[in-house]
Amino acid sequence: MVPLDGPSSSRGSNSPEPASASPSAPTPARSTADATHPAHVTSPSTPGQGTTAPQQPSPTPTPSHTKASTPADLTWSDPTREPTDQRWCEKVTVALDNSGGTAVRSGTVTFGTHIIGALGIDWGTVDSTAGLPAPIAPGAHENPTWTVCVDAWRVPLGMHIETRDVSVRWSQ
């Protein structure tokens, strides 16, 4: 029969006694780690056998990899107009702000130019399109100026133009 009461009190010649143990002190449980074998446990070569290594913390990602790029977010102001020497043209400045995390790579600006009669009546609107000054970097603020013209025959003597409407389309 096999005794189930625990280890026997007799030691064989192959079992060394720990140096710090005294006859009255209980013997501590033995581990595979000692002075010649540090307490580092390696993973077994076959899964499911033996003991596994403690989980190593994953390396901390660098800040450049943790910040996700946000899409471009372009906003624009109302147009600021300046007259030119021709009544069918004017210089139009629009402030552009990219508050996104990606550059604006291309796009168009559409101007709605109103033809105004001598008595202030709006006779019509002519749309014209121009390219954006791309690229517009993330966080950039730009104030480009365009010369916007309509056909000369649309603006007879005594009339003028006013570019009032601006819309912008862009891509990243």
Digit-coded pLDDT (tens) for 79-102: 999 999 999 999 999 999 999 999
For residue 11, is it within any domain? no
For residue 93, is it within any domain? yes
Number of domains in the chain: 1
For residue 156, is it within any domain? yes
* Residues 82, 147: Cα–Cα separation, whole Å: 9
Q: List, for the chain, all residue ranges whose pLDDT scores fall below the cut of 70.
A: 1-68
For residue 17, is it within any domain? no
Angstrom distances, CA of residue 161 to CA of 12, 57, 92, 120, 136: 111, 67, 12, 11, 29
Q: What's 116's domain CATH number? A: 2.60.40
For residue 116, is it within any domain? yes
For residue 159, is it within any domain? yes
